[in-house]
Chains A and B, each alone.
Chain A
Amino acid sequence: MRRMSRRIALVEDDPVLRENVADVLRRQGYETVVYADRAAAQSGMQTRLPDLAIVDIGLGDEIDGGFALVRELRARSAVLPIVFLTARDSDFDLVAGLRLGADDYLTKNISMPHLLARIAALFRRMEVLSAPPVTDEVVERGPLRLDLKRMSATWRSRPVELTLTEFWMVHALARHPGHVRSRDSLMSEANLVVDDATITSHIKRVRRKFQAVDAPFDAIDTVYGMGYRWKET
């Protein structure tokens, strides 16, 4: 075993996709338990929470079964990493999913290597959160501080709650301040396969999160037709 055996719960109603994803996870050494619907997942996770949960939104007859399940899981544990893996790609579902406390929202067209990278990143963040802080892998740009180990961001020393996707976007922008990052490059940095409009709404959400901490925040500049740029202060 390359790594400590971690337990992943996969809740997915399509049997073939479920087995495919489970195979990929198992091959990576994760102990994987699969559930086909909400009831099975609830009873299965009753006694023991997994180390990470991957949940589809539509579960059998329950079109929003995944939302209910995640709400319940989040109520039981504030730190359990939860990932939505769903066919739904509307902004509405994405926002709803992230608001419920999911750590990431992935659409089903994500490739398996990308999925594994996201899972690994979430576990890494978990590890670092429980480990003593290290200061090496840190990006600092003026008031912005990105901790790559913890996947956490602070602005003027105040924490900004970013999802993994948002964190990677901010990281991609802030790594080369002043350089315009196209939407395509942001997408590949954040391992996202969505359209331009979704990138736009992600950026809007990121801006709002920073503005919630610091109202006059305007470090993310829109360069129409090209993309976005981190303004040097």
Chain B
Amino acid sequence: MPRGAAPRLTIRVKVLLVALALAVIPLVGYGYVREIEKVLQAAHEQSVVATARAAAAALHDRPALLARRAEAGASEPPARAGSAEIELVIKGLRRAGSRIWVIDQDRNLLALEGSLRGEPEPAQPPEGLWGRFEAAVLRPFYALLLERPREDFDDALPESALSAGRAVDAALAGAPSTRWRQTPDRRAVVLAAAHPIWNGTEVAGAVVAEATTNSVLTLRNRVLEQLLTVTLATFVVGAGTLLLFASHLSARIRRLRDDAESAIDAQGRVRRPLRAVADGDEIGDLSRSFATLLDRLREYTDYLERIADRLSHELRTPIAVVSSSLDNLKSQPLPDTSRVYIERAEDGVRRLETILTRITEATRLERMLADAEREPFDLGRVVSGCVAGYAGAFPQARFALRLPERRVSMVGAPDLVAQMLDKLVANAIDFSVPGEPIEIAVDAAPGGATLAVSNIGPALPAAMRDRLFESMVSMRAGGAQGDEPHLGLGLFIVRLIAQFHGGRASARDRADGRGVVFEVFLPAGAA
């Protein structure tokens, strides 16, 4: 299919490039998911803040719980009853993956409940074809793209957060506040919401609710995975459909191109009509207009081929007018000085008539070939008979004949083969060096026989080599040396007769480089 060295953008490649536009869908989806993530984060933050506030509210105005601890001072063990009660209060507020701690004014940890680590999702064994595909292909792929929240982060309560956290400072100062921080090992992000515990009008302590963003991240990841799966599937299905369509389209176009190319042979003749397809689309239109085009082209080449025929037909009447006028003139008493001109005019008319006969010879032959009868004959006998005739017809030329010992039987029109040999020999005589023999040889060849006519003389002109057997092509040097007009039809007739027998004609220089060989292969064929 690729005909140039340069790579071409085929329709299929172009359609695939166009399909890349579908890649925008996951991008848009990703942006949308990020927006949702923000909303979720905000909601998450709200819920953490609400947890802190609720815990603080539960501890409001219960100085005993906090104070007892304060009274105890640094003495050990701390009053456990208060702590236990606080823990009881905050336990009810705790959620999975969050932790609540309570400190007093002196930043002593009064109670701690819950863990930042969520429950790890139970790994489900992949089920079904899709499940296995998801586990084997999609999950590793998503793992590359998406950052997975991890549960193995360091959830130790940093001293700095306890003592110097800005959220804690603000809460102890009486203002609820939130703070985002990373775990010390930077594996997770923790949101801390601090809320003051009021005892009357003074701050007795603070509740800090903490939660990682892992739940939000997990949710986001799940949405993104689904989005990716859906868009990937859409892309595969869409691009596949487009590819199929483009393949179908380009196959049709290629078929049309091949049809159009093979409808015309190397000589520009229309070999066979293009079969127009019935499709109603543009390619169908194209095919139909190609078919019309080829029809017109064929009409035109037919016209060109027939023009010689018509020309000769149209010219015959005026030539008859001239020659009959000359005949009439000859019967008049004329001075001798005029007679010579009449003779010259008659000579000219004769030459014109010869040209006309030659011109129509090829078309007449084509017509004759159409209904020629085939009969079995011996090629050797036809050729030897012809060569015997040439000796008389061309006394100035010498002929060397070589025949195979066995009969060369074939089926065809012996008259036409003789006519073909006439043309080949006439051609050889015209180009041969006087005195050198013209060699005519019949040789058995695989599937048939070859008839070769060879003469010593000028080599074939390279420019003409491929066109020698076409109509009206002559390699003779211009200028009318003799009175025999040359129209370049002889070898065309050779080709027609060879083709009629299912054979082919070719020309080449002799092996010794001293002349040319014209060779015709004729299959033994059963017609």
Contacts and interface: CB of A to CB of B under 8 A. Distances in A.
Given A17-B320, A108-B319, A196-B419, A226 B385 contact: yes
Contact of A225 (B316, B325, B328, B388): B388
Contact of A197 (B331, B392, B419): B419
Contacts of A197: 361, 364-365, 368, 419
A225 B422 CA distance: 7
A109 interface: yes
Contacts of B392: 226
B385 A90 contact: no
Contact of B320 (A88, A91, A109, A182): A109
A193 interface: yes
B357 interface: yes
User: How many A residues are at the interface, by size bracket?
Assistant: 35 or more
Contacts of A1: none
Contact of A92 (B367, B388, B421): B367
A20 B360 CA distance: 26
A27 interface: yes
A185 B324 CA distance: 24
A223 B327 contact: no
Given A20-B321, A23-B328, A109-B316, A223 B415 contact: no
A105 B365 CA distance: 20
A interface, by DSSP: helix, strand, loop or mixed?
A: mixed
Contacts of B316: 87, 89, 107-109
B320 A108 contact: yes
A224 B364 contact: no
Contact of B368 (A24, A111, A201, A222): A201
Contacts of B415: 200, 222, 224
B418 A225 contact: yes
B386 A225 contact: yes
A21 interface: yes
A212 interface: no
B328 A24 contact: yes
A170 B487 CA distance: 33
B389 A88 contact: no
B155 interface: no
Contacts of B390: 225
A224 B319 contact: no
B327 A24 contact: yes
Contacts of A222: 414-415
Interface in B183-241: none
B327 to A, nearest CB: 4
B317 A224 contact: no
B179 interface: no
B80 interface: no
A87 B320 contact: yes
A14 interface: yes
A16 interface: yes
Contacts of A100: none
Given A16-B321, A225-B385, A226-B385, A90 B364 contact: yes
A195 interface: yes
Interface string A9-22: 00000101100110
B313 A88 contact: yes
Contacts of B364: 89-91, 195, 197-198
A225 B389 contact: yes
Interface string A215-233: 0000000111111000000
B93 interface: no
A20 B317 contact: no
Contacts of B324: 17, 20-21, 24, 112
B382 A225 contact: yes
B374 to A, nearest CB: 14
Interface in B346-389: 353, 356-357, 360-361, 364-365, 367-368, 381-383, 385-389
B429 to A, nearest CB: 14
B interface, by DSSP: helix, strand, loop or mixed?
A: helix
A109 B422 contact: no
A220 to B, nearest CB: 13
A71 to B, nearest CB: 22
Contacts of B41: none
A193 B350 CA distance: 11
Nearest to A114: B327
B323 interface: yes
B328 A112 contact: yes
A142 interface: no
A111 B327 contact: yes
Contacts of A224: 381-383, 385-386, 389, 414-415, 417-418
Nearest to B324: A20
- Which of B356, B360, B365, B389 has the most chain A CB within a 10 Å cutoff? B389
Nearest to B352: A109
A133 interface: no
A113 interface: yes
Interface in A99-144: 107-109, 111-113
A109 B421 contact: no
A195 to B, nearest CB: 5
Contacts of A24: 324, 327-328, 331
B353 A223 contact: no
A226 to B, nearest CB: 4
B378 to A, nearest CB: 10
Contact of B323 (A27, A87, A111): A111
- Which of B361, B368, B381 has the most chain A CB within a 10 Å cutoff? B368
Nearest to B371: A91
A20 B321 CA distance: 7
A90 B353 CA distance: 15
Interface in B394-425: 414-415, 417-419, 421-422
A196 B313 CA distance: 18
A187 to B, nearest CB: 11
B389 A87 contact: no
Given A20-B321, A91-B367, A195-B357, 6 more contacts: A88-B313, A108-B320, A224-B383, A224-B389, A226-B385, A226-B392
Interface of B: 313-314, 316-317, 319-321, 323-325, 327-328, 331, 353, 356-357, 360-361, 364-365, 367-368, 381-383, 385-390, 392-393, 414-415, 417-419, 421-422
* In the A-B complex, the 5 residue pairs with the closest CB atoms: A225-B386, A226-B389, A112-B327, A87-B316, A225-B389
26 contacts: A14-B321, A16-B321, A17-B317, A20-B321, A20-B324, A21-B324, A24-B331, A27-B331, A87-B313, A89-B313, A89-B316, A90-B367, A91-B364, A108-B320, A109-B323, A109-B356, A112-B323, A194-B357, A195-B361, A222-B414, A224-B414, A224-B417, A224-B418, A225-B389, A226-B386, A226-B392
